[in-house]
Chain A
Amino acid sequence: MGQIVAGVLAPHPPHLVYAENPPQNEPRSECGWEVLRWGYESLRESLSQIDYDVLVVQSPHWRTYVGTHFLGVPELKSKSVDPIFPNLFRYNYDLKVEVPLAEQICSRAAELGLVTKMMRNPDFRVDYGTIVSTHMLQPGWEKPIVGISSIGAASYYGMDVMQELMQKLGQATKEVIEASDLKVVLVASHSLSHRHFVKEAEVPEDMSREHIEHHGQYLWDMKMIELMKAGDSKALFDIIPDFTEQTVGETESGGLSWMLSAMDFPTVPAKVHAYGTVIGTGNAIVEWRPKEWRPSKLRPQTSVPSKHEDVSGSKA
């Protein structure tokens, strides 16, 4: 019987790959964003302890508006150039797709009422969000992936509709994986708060220029992390619309909502491997295990300092 063996929040700033200087990426860096990169090291170490076959990645940078799409070509090879940071990310990828699993999730989601589509064009260029998160989780690209697009329902209708769609997509993902013989890691590829600077430092990896864009969004990020560490994923799910509204959160892509739903809202505390900022956005590297995860020794706090709550405009 198949199983979801872990779920991870794995943000995709191309800066992290740039700072790692892997052979696949053309630009070279001196350093940068070490706390987050060490967080990914820690996560890789943790995942190496478990047996898994496939990474299922949902990415905000494969944005579709008519339905949810799935990669449906067994092998995809090309160069990904980040349209926003082409100076940092020009990455030659060569990846394998677990197409049968993708097809089954696509079909089951359609049965549950979602509009879905398989992507069969061999010239298709995989989005940099999928590539960055997957690279940071497995730089050797040993495991195949399932790539899922992010439907723009949050913009079209609102976060409440998006939440409902992601619950159904999560249900489809869970049912199909459990009916398979695969062990799967789910990957929500996005940051938390997403207000960012509109100017880049002359030396992009100049860490004296790196900080959160706004204190209000930091408070919101900490509130989210607090709920993750408390293992209260239902409260986390419920707060996502407010969080997204207040921080222009990349949670609008639905990745975290989908993953929590697919994992049946895990109650074990999540392991936060790192939190840090990239051009002002808040990024957390977090791991959920469905069972037998050792609880954090730190007792989670229960509230955001009240004197700052009005900064972000809404109480959680």
Chain B
Amino acid sequence: MEKTRVVEKTKQAAPKNLDPNKQVFPEGQPQILKSYFVPGLPHILLCPEKKPEWTKVNQAFGKIREELKELKPDILLIYSTYWPSVVSHQIQARPLIKWTLVDEEWHDLGSVPYEIKIDSDFSHAYKDSAEKRGLEVRTVDYDGFPVDTGSVVLQKLVNPDNQFLSSIVSSHVYADRAETVVLGKAARDALVQTQKTAAVFVVSSFSNRYLPNWPEEYKEEKFSSLKDEEWNQKFIELLSEGRLEDVSQLSRSFHSQARVSKKVVNFKPFWWLSSVMGSTNQFKGEILEYQPVHGTGAAVIGLTPSAQTQGDLEFDEEDIEVYQGNRNILAEDPS
């Protein structure tokens, strides 16, 4: 077994060579070439020319598109906060999805006809591995199923010709950290089992507060509040240093400070991403772009597995291998 330098609680061993075409992965480890955190509002696809900030974000997606041509992953593994689920985690498994998307909020920006090719075998393997870890999961394979705006925007911008197959997993509204971390580990299991190389994506904004009026009514794009912007910057700084697990550990604070969403239990994309990537800080972080899009924090970030690590921290949050349900923290009724 390959021995690598790891930080406390590290599960992912870094590949030996950072050239993606020559990466050698230790046996038993998932072959994850790179991960990305990207926004998913339709402005950056449908009308990037309308604001300079949107143009820049659109161009950053172009960089990812070029990188993928070099990386040549077998699949794009996608977690989208734009796809909420409430009865179990859901994984898209329809081999070819065809529809025309119209965003429920931004319908005036236009329609998006799309085709997405799904790696159905991988999606089923992911479901099986998640169930083995105690999660409630189901695959979806229905004509007309509404693929979320974030996933469609990502596909159109980085994989428009379906050069790569995808697997998309929902963001379970009621899942908290334990479930989400285990969902990430199940993705690793499935990648190991299927021996597929992957580029991993999270589609989400940072701060998610919109400006309260229409884009045509304001001249300059801006963040919805200074507080949101400060929290975004905190995450940008940490991720530029590759400190993914540190960001993951700050998710609860970020949710309470910079997110609007009472119904969603917590800000969970970094829980999932860090778990998939091995719960470490061993990355080379690249901030490809960071701009406001209708007031939200739209960051395009790349994280490449690296032998170097930032920090050697004792984390506050525990590690979880198998989901065993919510713990009942109330005293049992003795009667």
Question: Is A bound to B?
Answer: yes
- Residue numbers of A with Cβ under 8 A of B are 62-67, 69, 79-81, 83-87, 90, 115, 117, 119-121, 123-125, 127, 149, 152, 154-156, 196-200, 248, 279
User: A64–B105 Cα gap in the complex (Å)?
Assistant: 5
Q: Do A155 and B86 have beta carbons less than 8 Å apart?
A: no
**Main SS of chain A's interface residues?**
loop
Contact A199–B136 (Cβ < 8 Å): yes
A-B contact count (CB 8 A): 88
Chain A residue nearest to B113 in the complex (CB): A123
In the bound complex, do residue B88 and residue A198 qualify as a contact, i.e. CB atoms below 8 Å apart?
Answer: yes
Please tell me which one of the listed residues B107, B142, B145, B213 contacts residue A119 in the complex, with CB atoms under 8 A apart. Answer: B107
Contacts of A121 in B (CB 8 A): 102, 107-108, 110-111
Interface string of B105-128 (1 = CB under 8 A from A): 101101100000000000000000
Contact between A154 and B210, CB atoms less than 8 A apart: no
**A-facing mask of B136-170, CB < 8 A → 1, else 0?**
10001011111000000000000000000000000
Complex interface: stretch among B29-37, B52-60, B257-265: B257-265
Whether B102 lies near A83 (C-beta < 8 A) is no
Interface residues of B in 204-262 (CB under 8 A from A): 209-214, 260-262
Q: Could you tell me the distance between the alpha carbons of A84 and B263 in the complex, rounded to whole angstroms? A: 15
Question: Can you name 26 A-B pairs with beta carbons within 8 Å?
Answer: A63-B104, A64-B105, A65-B210, A66-B214, A67-B214, A69-B107, A81-B143, A81-B144, A83-B84, A83-B85, A83-B146, A84-B85, A86-B140, A86-B145, A90-B143, A117-B214, A121-B110, A123-B100, A124-B107, A196-B86, A197-B87, A198-B174, A199-B87, A199-B136, A200-B88, A248-B263
Q: Which B residues are CB-close (under 8 A) to A124?
A: 102, 104, 107
Assuming the A-B contacts A84-B86, A155-B263, A199-B136, are A90 and B213 also in contact, with contact meaning beta carbons closer than 8 angstroms in the complex? no
A155 surroundings in chain B (CB, below 8 A): 260-263
Residues of chain B lying within 8 A (CB to CB) of residue A80: 144
- Chain B: how many interface residues by the 8 Å CB criterion? 34
If A199-B88, A200-B87, A279-B87 touch, whether A66 touches B105 (CB-CB below 8 Å) is yes
- Asked if B87 and A79 make an inter-chain contact with CB atoms under 8 angstroms apart, the answer reads no
- Knowing A155-B260, A198-B136 touch, does A79 contact B144 (C-beta < 8 A)? yes
Which residues on A sit within 8 Å (CB–CB) of B87? 84-85, 196-200, 279
Partner of A86, one of B102, B142, B212: B142
B83 interfacial contact with A, CB 8 Å: yes
Specify the chain A residue showing the minimal Cβ separation from B141. A86
- Pairs A-B, 6 closest by C-beta atoms: A123-B111, A121-B107, A79-B144, A81-B144, A86-B142, A124-B102
Residues of A within 8 A of B83 (CB): 83
In the complex, the answer to whether A117 meets B104 with C-beta atoms within 8 Å is: no
B213 touches A66 (CB 8 A): yes
A121 to B107, CA, bound (A): 6
